[in-house]
Chain A
Amino acid sequence: MAASDTPTTGSDWPLEIYNALKAADVRQLCYVPDAGHSRLIRLAHDDPAVATTVLTTEEEGVALSAGAWLGGQRAVLLMQSSGVGNCVNMFSLLQSCRFPFLTFVTMRGEWAEFNPWQVPMGKATPSAFEIMGVTVFRIDRPEDAGEMAAAAARLAYDSDQPIAVLISQRMIGAKKWTEAK
């Protein structure tokens, strides 16, 4: 059985987030792929002004973001909630050097989840960020996405803060596990 990778979406909220990142002059976007981020990833790949980097594991993106800032560029990391735990020790780099950091996290394990293996890290995601000093925002409604992304970017890059924006699984649409007839 092949699962569909196409999430059901109610609006073009990925474009709203992308426009906010562009307005904030984000020049590097790195990711561990997630179906919920697929449109954002495509938008970045199609944009010659943004350097995209596919990662083997999420903490690479924390380090890359720090390096980009050292060199004068703003970076953003896209991942799903299962990757947040991988980043925990690398978040020390952000605190030790007061690096700005911005990540968008698609949530799994919280809304109509089919795969029980996604639940533990999904439940622990907000607290995993918080124990390491990362401020957590959450988007539950598509119409809030653009404004939330813009505010998160301001707080991250202008106030040197580490910010995670969680995107609710309800908003992404539960992954379809059966082929359409």
Chain B
Amino acid sequence: MKAALDRRAAVKALLQDRGDLLIVSGLGSSSYDVFDAGDHPANFYLWGAMGGAAMIGLGLALAQPSRPVAIVTGDGEQLMGLGSLATIAAKKPGNLSIVVLDNAHFGETGMQMSHSGLGANLELIATGAGFPSVSTIETLAALNAFRPKLHDLSGPHFARVAISTDHVDRALPPRDGVFLKNRFRGHLGLPVN
């Protein structure tokens, strides 16, 4: 895994010039990475709901079809919701991207190896589910080449980003779900009462 990307640098590069991107981050390190890249009212950080990040993204993408929506989550979180890849591929929202930060381990719980480390190929699963656009990202150059897809509204896109298991310090976003929900809706000009 030594050649793999640093997760913080990868997410920072991915979200550079984010424009009108709406982001849902999966619980654990993915939420820390998105927060560390720069807090924003259009970030909805999950601290639970494991397996649900992609589906929150689908509901959001269908409700806001003119805004690009990115899910940034981990291999463990996505593995718990593999069925949602079939659900999303069946619906084909052009404005939705699923980005899986894959270190092949459950990083938050003691670095047990995950299924992606034990042979599961997430790109093949996404392809088999019906995603029309599937990317493997193992270098910063590939990440930079992928970044415009987050904004092109021609998805749904699935990308697996191979990241290192190297330790990074936690960066903790707000944990109050009601605050995060109202901040997000306020950003979209929606009522918050």
Residues of chain A touching chain B, judged by Cβ–Cβ distance below 8 Å, are 27-28, 51, 53-57, 59-73, 75, 89-90, 92-93, 96-99
Contact = CB atoms under 8 A, between A and B. Distances in A.
A73 B46 CA distance: 20
Contacts of B47: 96
19 contacts: A28-B62, A51-B62, A53-B62, A54-B87, A55-B87, A59-B52, A60-B81, A64-B55, A65-B59, A67-B56, A69-B181, A70-B56, A70-B63, A71-B64, A72-B188, A75-B59, A92-B48, A96-B48, A96-B178
Interface residues of B, number: 36
B87 A67 contact: no
A51 B90 CA distance: 13
Nearest to B181: A97
Interface of B: 22, 24, 44, 46-53, 55-64, 81, 83-84, 86-87, 90-91, 177-178, 180-181, 184-185, 188, 190
A99 to B, nearest CB: 7
A90 B52 contact: yes
A24 B53 CA distance: 26
Contacts of B49: 63, 66, 89-90, 92-93
Nearest to B46: A93
B184 A70 contact: yes
Given A67-B55, A67-B59, A93-B48, 10 more contacts: A28-B63, A51-B62, A61-B55, A63-B52, A68-B59, A70-B44, A70-B60, A70-B181, A71-B22, A73-B63
